[in-house]
Amino acid sequence: MLKSETGRCILFRYSKTFILFACAIFYLCTASSDETEDATCDNDGTCSFVSEPSVPPECQLVMAESTLPNGGWGVFTLIDRPERGTPLLYGDVVVQVTDLNHTYAAALRRLLDDYWWSAEETGGFYEGQQVLSSIPGIGMLANGLIVQEHNVLPFVPMVDEAGLTRTESPGAGAITHYHNYTWFVKKPMVAGDEIFVPYSPHWFSERNARIQQNAPASRKTTTRRHLEFLRQYGFCLDNVKPGRSVLPDAGRGLFAARNIRQGSVVLPVPVMAITDPRALDITRVKKPSSQVDYSKQLLLNYCFGHNESSVLLYPYGPGMHLVNHGGGQYTNVRLEWDTVPNDVSWTNLTQWQDPQAPRAPKFLLKLIALRDIAVGQEILLDYGPDWIEAWVRHVETWTPSSPGKYEEPYTPSYVMDDVVKVLRTQEELQTYPYPANIFTSCFYRYEDIARSTQVDDTDPSTLVTVQWQQTRHTFEFMNLRPCTVLERNESNGLFTVRILNRFGLSAKERVPSVHIVTHVPRKAIRFSDKLYTTDQHLKNAFRHPIGLSDDLFPDQWKDLKVKDF
């Protein structure tokens, strides 16, 4: 465990059009040891500890080893949560991963198999033809078995650019627009209970099989831990909260939710290896010109890297994606390993992608407070000289632009939803079109209609007209699909639309004919961005990993002399 470090910080400020370097300063950071003595446990599982617990007494949610065999990390509540519908933790971001490079996708095997979600859960399916969602925090830390009833449910993320417009900010496209993805209590919980998220039966099949392989046949294993154990060996998850960053061109940030003492753990930062950075390259062929576009996944901005290594580390705990860069005296946290990486097994990076290997809680960094941090202060980490140089170069050369053929006027879909009150019919759009990047989508569940009607909808040439109906699952993102407004009834505010199909729809949800739906309420129609038109697809968007210092990055991973991201 690292006791202290000496590092070089560059104090700098940047605005929308210039960078100001002030001075180079040196600092000495001394982190107090958080090593604890072993617990003494009775046969009934009651534990007593000699040393002081590492989790602050006001903490309500922790990360600790899961109660499930081979389950890796888990999330546990330290308080009773009797009320359904209350938030479990602050909302986190969602990063949409589009059109993976299949040639190098093996370098993401563990993330693909065990951690990432379908974009239909987050509404990100219009970002590309094939989209997966990274949901750091509860969505990637908590377990969920098919046989285990989940006790939390997610609510849809908010979507906005956090003030980083593509016409004014060099930070446009450098952060995800999806944020405040929040998990809510589904059923009452008792202090010590482990959190379980809802997994669909066809998701994470390999992970479920691996976890259940060594599970007791009786399935009577408890999913609750003693509070003494959690306070001693857990890591607090609610020391911080999100907000709008105080830094220009940074967007959102992370702030102290309570006073944090120097040397204490601000956040746990579990990481997963990406063993080949080319897995984050995007190669897309434009038709009909066959022109090839080369770009990098937005996910790269949230990874840790080193200029002498081909290894990237992706953090998947809560909050870390919101920590911004601060230089010099602005830096108030640093990273350190929970276990110093000197084991020979750390050298064999290919085993990290082995689907049969247990998801052991081994690769864990910690965000440590360099000094006392007062409630409300922004958490700032030094991203390192390589990142600083890349950002300076980006700002100096940045000019506003729009992706592809969708030039001005450009209006994000969330803005259209806020300002457009009267939806235009298909006929009206011929004279008064929407911005070129926009189209309309409708919440519509075809399966429910097909089951409740006797209409023959199997002939593609058939014109089928049905009435819109709301069911329990209608407003789930998976039921959002393209539609065109045909008629608008001014008297009752209802619409007649034509329902279309989109990429990723299941066979049972694809309408086989000309499908007209009447009596559609305004709340069921929203604006959507066309594929590859949002800011994360801007050609001039900033892309660079966060730098890890030499003393943090294991020598056995430094397989390159020079690395250009």
Looking at residue 86, its pLDDT comes to: 97
Domain count within the chain: 2
| Domain presence at residue 364 | yes
Place of tokens 């446009």: 172
| Domain presence at residue 402 | no
Residues 348, 433, single domain; the answer is: no
Residues 468, 333, single domain; the answer is: no
How far apart are the C-alpha atoms of 515 and 511, rounded to whole Å? 7
Residues 333, 441, single domain; the answer is: no
Please list, residue by residue across 427-450, b when 16 or more beta carbons sit within 10 angstroms of its beta carbon and e when fewer do.
eeeeeeebbbbbbbbbbbbbebbb
Looking at residue 361, its pLDDT comes to: 43
CA distance from start to end of the chain: 30
Residues 497, 552, single domain; the answer is: no
| Domain presence at residue 420 | yes
| Domain presence at residue 156 | yes
The candidate with the shortest Cα–Cα distance to 272, out of 70, 134, 379, is: 134
Residues 64, 127, single domain; the answer is: yes
Residues 523, 549, single domain; the answer is: no
| Domain presence at residue 564 | no
Residues 388, 423, single domain; the answer is: no
Looking at residue 56, its pLDDT comes to: 93
Looking at residue 562, its pLDDT comes to: 55
| Domain presence at residue 404 | no
Q: Which residues contact 119 (CB under 8 A, 6 or more apart)?
A: 96, 125, 127, 131, 132, 133, 504
| Domain limits for position 419 | 413-529
Q: How many CB atoms lie within 10 A of CB 328?
A: 18
Looking at residue 27, its pLDDT comes to: 30
Instruction: Output DSSP code: residue 240.
Output: E
∠139-186-479 over CA atoms, to 5°? 65
Residues 417, 319, single domain; the answer is: no
Across 31-91, where does the E strand assignment appear? 40-41, 47-48, 61-65, 73-77
Query: Is omega for the bond preceding 409 within 30 degrees of 0, making it cis?
Result: yes
Looking at residue 554, its pLDDT comes to: 82
How far apart are the C-alpha atoms of 322 and 381, rounded to whole Å? 11
Contact at 8 Å (CB) between 309 and 544?
no
- Tell me the sheet residues that pair with 223: none
How far apart are the C-alpha atoms of 544 and 553, rounded to whole Å? 17
Residues 85, 202, single domain; the answer is: yes
Map residue 487 onto helix, strand or coil.
Answer: strand
Residues 53, 168, single domain; the answer is: yes
Residues 359, 442, single domain; the answer is: no
Looking at residue 556, its pLDDT comes to: 81
Report the greatest alpha carbon distance in the chain.
78
Contact at 8 Å (CB) between 523 and 421?
no
Looking at residue 444, its pLDDT comes to: 95
The candidate with the shortest Cα–Cα distance to 529, out of 433, 417, 397, is: 417
Looking at residue 344, its pLDDT comes to: 53
How far apart are the C-alpha atoms of 132 and 142, rounded to whole Å? 18
| Domain presence at residue 334 | yes
How far apart are the C-alpha atoms of 395 and 542, rounded to whole Å? 9
Return the sign of the alpha-carbon dihedral for residues 8, 11, 16, 18.
Answer: negative
φ, ψ of residue 38 in degrees (nearest 5): -65, 155
How far apart are the C-alpha atoms of 271 and 276, rounded to whole Å? 15
| Domain presence at residue 303 | yes
Residues 480, 456, single domain; the answer is: yes
Looking at residue 240, its pLDDT comes to: 98
Divide the 565 residues of the chain into consecutive groups of 10 and give the mean pLDDT of each group. 30 32 30 39 44 80 92 94 96 96 87 89 93 95 78 94 95 97 96 90 54 47 90 97 96 98 96 92 67 81 95 95 92 90 58 55 87 97 97 95 60 94 95 95 89 66 88 91 96 95 88 92 96 93 96 85 56
